[in-house]
Amino acid sequence: MNVRLYVLQRATAAIMAPLVIGHLIVIFYATSRGLSAGDILGRTRGSVGWGLFYGVFVLAVAIHGAIGLRGILAEWTPLKSKGALDALMWLFGLTLAALGLRAVMAVVL
Amino acid sequence: MTGMIEVSLWRGKADGRYQTYQVPQRANQTVLDVVTWVQRNADPTLSYRFACRVGMCGSCAMTVNGRPRWTCRTHTSKVIEDGKLEIGPLANLPVIKDLAADLTRFFEKWQRAKGVFAPSKTRKDPIERISPASAPRIAADAAIECINCAVCYAACDTVRWNEDYLGPAALNRAWTLVNDVKDAGNKTRLAAIAEAGGCHACHSHQSCQEHCPNKLNPTASIAGLKRRTMQAYIKGEL
């Protein structure tokens, strides 16, 4: 891991820390109030705030997770080629981002 | 003190094996004394490395009962288990023969980490006065007593997983120079240790400080390098 990946991973961790807490609060709130799927969608549809909250969360997770996976592959598998490691990191990160943003759009739009 | 120690010594290269010897136990006997006894009394073909015998030169490190140690300052009475000692070459390094590990790669990494002083003055300039109480000098002092024994390198999990990793000793050396106000090489040094295999590869397992015979803390030095390189990167200096 070079300094650029290190800074990106630490920065996304710092972004995720409060978002994880917010996400847990949302889960506890929704379950304790017994909100239905319709109730939740009623609150999230058209909401710029929820779109930003989970959009940023997804992007931070995609960057953080992809860099972490690159480190695991480099240290725990025979894969040593920088090009292959970078390619897998990008593939994993873009896949996570695409799947996550698709889910965010489904509840916001 | 009398009796015998059952000593298993690594013989051969990487594909070698342990061979057992019976060595008389003595008072105040070090692990290096045991190895020397075997070479002088049982098998003169045994290869190992030592020089000063007083913990200054860093030549005699070996793996003793699974743990890297400086053998000249390790008493057998403190490490012996069930009357047995198993002594092998340092881990994470190629074996030359028997107990002698090849340190070439270890010192090449010191070069890669720019562990060489880069002078900022000529001999005509007055000698700069450095206050022992200044923060950079205190940071350098805390890390400077490294004897290059490679015990930390042999103990490091990250070195084992990532052959490109510079390792605790080279990075600790770089940290002393980063804090040397007379040194002019920090730009290239920080760039070298900010690359893949540099300080950011460290997982902070702290095996280096746990095993360092001189009680240094390379993990803290590496953490300092992480901070310093991150600041330089954010400022656009890297």
**Torsion angles phi and psi, residue A76, rounded to 5:** -115, -5
Residues B205 and B174 in one domain: yes
Domain CATH code at residue B8: 3.10.20.30
Nearest alpha-carbon partner for B50 in B31, B24, B65: B31
Residues of chain B found within 8 Å of residue A7, distances taken between Cβ atoms: 230, 233-234
Evaluate if residue B2 carries a pLDDT over 90.
Answer: no
Q: CB–CB of A6 and B230 under 8 A?
A: yes
Residues B174 and B186 in one domain: yes
Residues B145 and B120 in one domain: yes
B150: domain range? 104-234
Residues B161 and B213 in one domain: yes
B83: left (phi over 0), alpha (psi -120 to 50) or beta: left
* pLDDT score of A34: 86
The pLDDT mean for chain B works out to 96
Name the residue of chain B whose CA is nearest to A9's CA.
B200
All domains of chain A in start order, with CATH:
3-108 (1.20.1300.10)
Residues B118 and B210 in one domain: yes
Q: CB–CB of A7 and B198 under 8 A?
A: no
Residues B76 and B108 in one domain: no
Beta bridge partners of B4: B24
- Which of these three, B45, B68, B101, is where a domain ends? B101
Evaluate if residue B1 carries a pLDDT over 70.
Answer: no
Evaluate if residue B220 carries a pLDDT over 90.
Answer: yes
The answer, for A7 touching chain B at a CB cutoff of 8 Å, is: yes
Query: For residue B17, what is the enclosing H or E element?
Result: strand B17-24
Residues B170 and B53 in one domain: no
Mean pLDDT of B84-109: 97
Nearest alpha-carbon partner for B92 in B193, B14, B144: B14
Name the residue of chain B whose CA is nearest to A72's CA.
B161
Residues B18 and B49 in one domain: yes
The answer, for A2 touching chain B at a CB cutoff of 8 Å, is: yes
DSSP B23: E
Residues B66 and B176 in one domain: no
Domain CATH code at residue B121: 1.10.1060.10
How close is the nearest chain B Cα to the Cα of A26, in Å? 33
Q: How many residues does chain A have?
A: 109
Name the residue of chain B whose CA is nearest to A80's CA.
B162
Residues B109 and B95 in one domain: no
A 45-84 near B (Cβ less than 8 A): 74-76, 82
pLDDT-flagged residues of chain A (< 50)? none
Residues B8 and B17: their CA atoms lie apart, in Å, by: 9
Domain count along chain B: 2
- The ipTM value here is 0.81
Beta bridge partners of B95: B101
- Which of these three, B35, B67, B101, is where a domain ends? B101
Residues of chain B found within 8 Å of residue A76, distances taken between Cβ atoms: 161
Helix/strand/coil for A105: helix
Residues of chain A found within 8 Å of residue B201, distances taken between Cβ atoms: 1
Residues B128 and B225 in one domain: yes
Q: CB–CB of A3 and B201 under 8 A?
A: no
Residues B97 and B114 in one domain: no
How close is the nearest chain B Cα to the Cα of A1, in Å? 5
- Which of these three, B101, B130, B152, is where a domain ends? B101
User: Per-residue pLDDT tens for B20-35?
Assistant: 999 999 999 999 999 9
Evaluate if residue B139 carries a pLDDT over 90.
Answer: yes
Where does the pLDDT of residue B232 fall: very low under 50, low under 70, confident under 90, or very high at 90 and above? very high
CA B238 to chain centre: 28
